[in-house]
C-alpha cells in the first residue's frame, strides 16, 4: 500500500477554509430563505402501488421540497401504505414551515393507497387547501391485445 502522506495545515488555513464553507452555506440557505417566502404553492402527490412521492412547488414550478416513503426508511410493500403517506406529509411539512407556505393547490396522480391519507394529512398539518385535482393518467386504447390462439 505504501506510506500515507499526512498534510498538516496551520490554524490560519483551517480558519480560512471554515469561513469560506460557512459563507457558501449562508449563500445557499439565505437565498432560499430570503427569496422563497411564499404563501401559495402546488403540492403534487404521486401514489403508486409501490411508493408515495410528494413534491411541493411554488406557483412557477420551482421545487421547494420533496419527500418519499422510501427516503423515510419504509421498505417493500410498506411504502405504499396510508400510514407511510401520512409520515411523508409530516416530513414535508417540516421542510415547508421554513418557506412559509400556507395556501396550496393539490394535484394527485396514481391509484395507490396513500392518496386519501396524504390529502387528509395535509389538511391536518394546517395548510389551507384551495383545490384538489386528479391527474391520474388514463390509457386511451390500452396495450395491443395478444394474437389469436391457433389450435
pLDDT in tens, 67-85: 999 999 999 999 999 999 9
Does residue 116 lie in a domain region? yes
Here the cell at position 83 is 400510514
94 pLDDT above the threshold of 60: yes
| pLDDT tens digits, 31-76 | 544 455 788 999 999 999 999 999 999 998 999 999 999 999 999 9
Q: What is the 3-state secondary structure (H, E, C) of the chain?
A: CCCCCCCCCCHHHHHHHHHHHHHHHHHHHHHHHHHCCCCEEEEEEEECCCCEEEEEEECCCCEEEEEECCCCCCCHHHHHCHHHHHHHHHHHHHHHHHHCCCEEEEEEECCCCHHHHHHHHHHHCCCEEEEEEECCCCCCCCCCCCCCCCC
pLDDT classification of 23: cutoffs 50, 70, 90: confident
Kindly state the cell numbers that stand for 55: 413534491
Taking the CB of residue 80, how many other CB atoms lie within 10 A of it?
Answer: 20
Please indicate, yes or no, if residue 76 is contained in any of the structural domains.
yes
Query: What's the domain range around 115?
Result: 37-134
- pLDDT at res. 33: 47
What's the total number of domains in the chain? 1
pLDDT in tens, 104-143: 999 999 998 999 999 999 999 999 999 999 999 988 888 8
Q: Is residue 43 in a domain?
A: yes
Q: Say if 27 falls within a structural domain.
A: no
Query: Residue 56 is part of a domain; what is its CATH number?
Result: 3.30.420.80
Residue 91 in any domain: the answer is yes
- Least Cα distance to 52 among 104, 122, 129, 102 occurs for 122
Cell numbers for 104, please give them.
396550496
Cα 81 to Cα 32, 56, 117, 123, 149: the distances in Å are 32, 20, 9, 18, 40
pLDDT of residue 30: 55
Q: 145 in a domain, yes or no?
A: no
In a domain, 41, yes or no: yes
Q: Cell 421498505 belongs to which residue? A: 75
C-beta neighbour count of 87 within 10 angstroms: 20
Amino acid at each position: 500500500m505504501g506510506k500515507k502522506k499526512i498534510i498538516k495545515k496551520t490554524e490560519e488555513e483551517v480558519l480560512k477554509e471554515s469561513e469560506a464553507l460557512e459563507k457558501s452555506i449562508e449563500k445557499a440557505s439565505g437565498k432560499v430563505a430570503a427569496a422563497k417566502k411564499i404563501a401559495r404553492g402546488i403540492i403534487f402527490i404521486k401514489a403508486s402501488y409501490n411508493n408515495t412521492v410528494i413534491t411541493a412547488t411554488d406557483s412557477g414550478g420551482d421545487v421547494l421540497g420533496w419527500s418519499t416513503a422510501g427516503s423515510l426508511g419504509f421498505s417493500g410493500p410498506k411504502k405504499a401504505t396510508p400510514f407511510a403517506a401520512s409520515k411523508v406529509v409530516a416530513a414535508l411539512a417540516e421542510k415547508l414551515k421554513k418557506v412559509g407556505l400556507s395556501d396550496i393547490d393539490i394535484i394527485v396522480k396514481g391509484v395507490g393507497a396513500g392518496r386519501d391519507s396524504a390529502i387528509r394529512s395535509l389538511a391536518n398539518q394546517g395548510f389551507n387547501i384551495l383545490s384538489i385535482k386528479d391527474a391520474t393518467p388514463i390509457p386511451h386504447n390500452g396495450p395491443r391485445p395478444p394474437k389469436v390462439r391457433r389450435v
